[in-house]
Chains A and B, each alone.
Chain A
Amino acid sequence: MPMELSTFFQQLANAMSLGSLYALIAIGYTMVYGILRLINFAHGDVFMLGAYFAFYAITLLAMPWWIAFAVALGLTAVFGMGLERMAYRPLRDSPKISVMISAIGASFLIQNLGVVIFGGRPKSFPSIPLFDTVVRFGPVSVLSVSLFIPVVTLVSLIVLLYIVNQTKTGLAMRAVSTDLDAARLMAIDVNRTVSITFGIGSFLAALGGIMWTMKYPQLNPLMGVMPGLKCFIAAVIGGIGNIQGAVLGGFILGALEILIVAFLPELTGYRDAFAFVLLIVVLLVKPAGLLGKAQAVKV
């Protein structure tokens, strides 16, 4: 069955917006890994919190959407910094496995606190006309938020790369991620640098979370689990520790998921499995990820 061109564009639009969301979340994993060699398993839950913060700011506090979003982004960034402070910093000099267990614990804690505080029943995100209208290009129709998502992602990426590569804070981040002790010898405030990294990663997760709930307008306290896992995979596929790699991995994963379901609708039920299959293939063929460099580990 030949696919209509319009269907192709329709799916392409879907793939672009899903890929962008994955990319935003994957950046948070990759930045934290880059700087601390830690997989922040609670990152998906931070993503969930971002969405809930925006939800409550709009519904409970009756804020206009743009103020609500700003508040949610700020709160989530602060939350991410607090998470590092409480769950990871005390274990900075402990074995990696302890920090990892702490991350898994933090993830469960946030999810279950979410159930207790927000309630387990899904909530629907309020409609915001600017993001909620259907835009038609001939036979292709997309939700306006799907057009905003890639733009927001691109702008975020440009700003982020500027911060990392052109600013003093970015230089400190790159130094800390290469050699913690040598960075200390440069009079760099390592704790502050790690905090900023968590702040930026959580900010981007919140941005992803808010746009995610506008695209799939339902919130529940476990909504971060699957995107969290997939974006971790996206970061690994791209080469964990590498920002451009995380973005590439996010887009590959998003595109693959949408296009395979479009081409082979009978496999729709296995949609979530593709990410894991892709992960296994990449790890077998290019263990350091697509843009990652193989690192010699000193034993």
Chain B
Amino acid sequence: MLKIDNLSVHYGGIHALQGIGFEVPDGKIVTLIGANGAGKSTTLKAIIGLVAASSGSVSWNGEDLTGMMTKDIVKKGVVLVPEGRRVFPNLTVDENLSLGAFSRTDKPVVASDRDKVFSLFPRLKERMKQKAGTLSGGEQQMLAVGRALMTRPKLLMMDEPSLGLAPLIVKMIFDIVREINKEGTTVLLIEQNAKAALEVADRGYVLETGRITLTGTGKELLADDRVRSAYLGEAG
């Protein structure tokens, strides 16, 4: 279980996260929704050690992750699919996948995981030797997810996986999120596409200007008037 307690992050004088707390229970899909600048990406970056927390703690199965280096957090099975996909454009699809498995030494299992990624995303297999920079946005997102799966995540965090993608691809990505979760991976999902996120989520948290203002199951939040007017574009 991932447990965030009173987490604060400062960027210079800006107080980006103002002491938030939430939990991601094992085997669940949890989503954090909120507008631009609410602190969603910052939360994920603080969990994985890309930005330093100014106070509070992040613990993973009872172990304190705060202050740990990103590479060590990733080795514990906490993996991030970053915003904007961040595939390595000058490397091939195959090399990108190998980087996902960079810290792993169990070669035969890595090979079978690669096959599994290819069966989830047959397009990636077709483009194995192609540079990632030549892929379409949707294919790059598939690669980013596939690359993360190569790390064998216990907790998969995804930052805006649907951003800028065609509806069909968005649906596919969410289907795969559901499938990954069914196989036992815990998912922490961040989305501006609140409807899609809440539909797959077991639990949701609403983040506003660095604070958590609302929480509930996915269904409860979908039915909540405040959520409907602020994030689902429906008259309240």
Contact = CB atoms under 8 A, between A and B. Distances in A.
Interface stretch (A58-66, A134-142, A176-184, A209-217): A176-184
A54 B141 CA distance: 52
B88 A182 contact: yes
B65 interface: no
A174 B95 CA distance: 10
Interface string B60-78: 0000000001111011000
A3 interface: no
A182 to B, nearest CB: 4
A184 B91 contact: no
A171 B92 CA distance: 11
A188 B72 CA distance: 9
Contacts of B79: 185
A175 B88 contact: yes
Contact of B88 (A168, A174, A189): A174
Contacts of B151: 186-187
A187 B90 contact: no
B95 A171 contact: yes
B102 A187 contact: yes
Nearest to A190: B71
Contacts of A168: 102
A178 B102 CA distance: 16
Q: Size class of A's contact patch?
A: 10 to 19
A172 interface: yes
B82 A187 contact: no
A181 B50 contact: yes
A171 B70 contact: no
Interface SS of A by simple majority: helix
Contacts of A171: 91, 95, 98-99, 102
A173 to B, nearest CB: 11
Nearest to B80: A185
B71 to A, nearest CB: 5
B218 interface: no
B39 interface: no
Nearest to B98: A171
A287 B34 CA distance: 43
A189 B71 contact: yes
Interface size grouping (class) on chain B: 20 to 34
Contacts of A174: 88, 90-91, 95
Given A184-B71, A185-B70, A189-B71, A178 B90 contact: yes
Contacts of A189: 71
A179 B71 CA distance: 14
Contacts of A183: 99
Nearest to B144: A182
A174 B48 CA distance: 22
Contacts of B71: 184, 187-190
A181 B50 CA distance: 7
B74 A187 contact: yes
B11 to A, nearest CB: 12
Contacts of B103: 186-188
Contacts of A187: 70-72, 74-75, 102-103, 151
Nearest to A191: B69
B89 interface: yes
Nearest to A180: B50
B210 interface: no
B224 to A, nearest CB: 33
B171 interface: no
B100 A178 contact: no
Contacts of B226: none
Contacts of B70: 184-185, 187
Nearest to B48: A185
A187 B147 CA distance: 12
Nearest to A182: B86
Interface of A: 168, 171-172, 174-175, 178-179, 181-190
6 contacts: A171-B98, A174-B95, A182-B88, A186-B74, A186-B102, A186-B147
Given A175-B99, A185-B70, A188-B103, 8 more contacts: A171-B91, A178-B91, A182-B82, A182-B86, A184-B49, A184-B71, A186-B99, A188-B71
